[in-house]
Amino acid sequence: MTSANTAILQIICPDQAGLVAKIADFIHQHQGNIVDLGQHTDPVSKTFLMRIEWELKSFKLKKSDLKKYLKTWEKQYQMDIKLFFRSQKLKLGILVSKYPHCLEDLLMRQSLGELSVKIPVIISNHPDSSKVAKYYGIPYQQVSVEEKNKVQAEAKILKILKKHQVDFVVLARYMQILSQDFIAHYPNQIINIHHSFLPAFKGGKPYHQAYSRGVKIIGATSHYVTAELDNGPIIEQRVARVSHRHGVEDLIRLGRDQERLALAEAVRLHSEHRILAYENKTVVFE
């Protein structure tokens, strides 16, 4: 429940006494009305993490001056600060391969107003999803990827993303492994959906792994993509009960729902700037 015309600060820094007061007071001094404040101190690493959102209506500080202040804080408190404005919807670029269920789910949710993002482009290494892209009126770019042209393909994809000024990327069951170079362009801004309850069943064919292990619960995990495969900061996980009666096909079917939910929730949280990533973990201020 937050009004549209607000500013949001994400702050990560070494813990110090008085930070909450300092920040809240600063916003209040300039007639900013705080509508949401989430704060957490990691007891192990003594890291201070905060998300604060306030109304701009009555806020007396010009954006440029605000940014100046934040610069001084960054030095003074060794803060890692991110500033966002609700009015500026993030631009989401979706990468997809053959399985369309996550893509279709995201498009459906956005059309229902569940996700406050713009989707300027969908990129795929297959033609399959061009029809649904067209239905939703979103440009669809096919970039086929083979072993031999991986580098060029990534360069092409990167160019398309930059051209559409994409803020963050979702791998909606995109079946190509991205290079470190590629990932470096979007640190903690590439969200992947892995079709298992990580860290169980990393890598390929997780549902087959789950079936042969005979687990009683399957799951899906959305996480930020890092250099290490399936090992980035976990954003959201969903699970479903299964039994001996469920074959691999059933696990895949039941898993699809968990994939949809875990990915859609991650996109929602990211687009509302509710996720702070640090030490290969996430702090989610819901």
For a copy of itself, the closer of residues 158 and 200 by Cβ is 200
**Cα separation of the two ends of the chain:** 11
d(Cα 150, Cα 4) in Å, to the nearest integer? 41
Q: If binding means CB under 8 A, how many residues of this protein chain bind a copy of itself?
A: 67
For a copy of itself, the closer of residues 83 and 200 by Cβ is 200
Among 93, 120, 206, 233, binds a copy of itself (CB under 8 A): 233
d(Cα 254, Cα 23) in Å, to the nearest integer? 45
Find the shortest distance in angstroms from Cβ 282 to a copy of itself. 7
For a copy of itself, the closer of residues 55 and 167 by Cβ is 55
Query: Which among 88, 94, 53 has a CA at the least distance from the CA of 271?
Result: 88
Strand partners, 6: 55
Residues 187-206 touching a copy of itself, rule: CB under 8 A, are 197-201
Find the shortest distance in angstroms from Cβ 34 to a copy of itself. 5
- 3-state SS record for the chain: CCCCCEEEEEEEEECCCCHHHHHHHHHHHCCCEEEEEEEEEECCCCEEEEEEEEECCCCCCCHHHHHHHHHHHHHHHCCEEEEEECCCCEEEEEEECCCCHHHHHHHHHHHCCCCCEEEEEEEECCCCCHHHHHHCCCCEEECCCCHHHHHHHHHHHHHHHHHCCCCEEEECCCCCCCCHHHHHCCCCCEEEEECCCCCCCCCCCHHHHHHHHCCCEEEEEEEECCCCCCCCCEEEEEEEECCCCCCHHHHHHHHHHHHHHHHHHHHHHHHCCCEEEECCEEEECC
For a copy of itself, the closer of residues 139 and 247 by Cβ is 247
Among 133, 191, 234, 267, binds a copy of itself (CB under 8 A): 234
Using CB under 8 A as the binding rule, whether residue 152 contacts a copy of itself is answered as: no
For a copy of itself, the closer of residues 151 and 227 by Cβ is 227
Residues 107-146 touching a copy of itself, rule: CB under 8 A, are 108, 112, 114, 135
Mark 64-103 with x for binding to a copy of itself (rule: CB under 8 A) and - for no binding: ------------------------------------xx--
- Which residue in the list 36, 105, 128, 230 is annotated as catalytic? 230
User: Is 230 annotated as catalytic?
Assistant: yes
Among 144, 165, 216, 228, binds a copy of itself (CB under 8 A): 216
Residues 2-41 touching a copy of itself, rule: CB under 8 A, are 17-18, 20-22, 24-25, 27-29, 31, 33-37, 39-41
Find the shortest distance in angstroms from Cβ 141 to a copy of itself. 21
d(Cα 254, Cα 142) in Å, to the nearest integer? 29
Active-site residues, by number, are: 230
Interface positions with a copy of itself (CB under 8 A): 1, 17-18, 20-22, 24-25, 27-29, 31, 33-37, 39-44, 58, 100-101, 104-105, 108, 112, 114, 135, 197-201, 213-217, 219, 233-237, 239, 241, 243-247, 249-250, 253, 256-257, 261, 280-284, 286
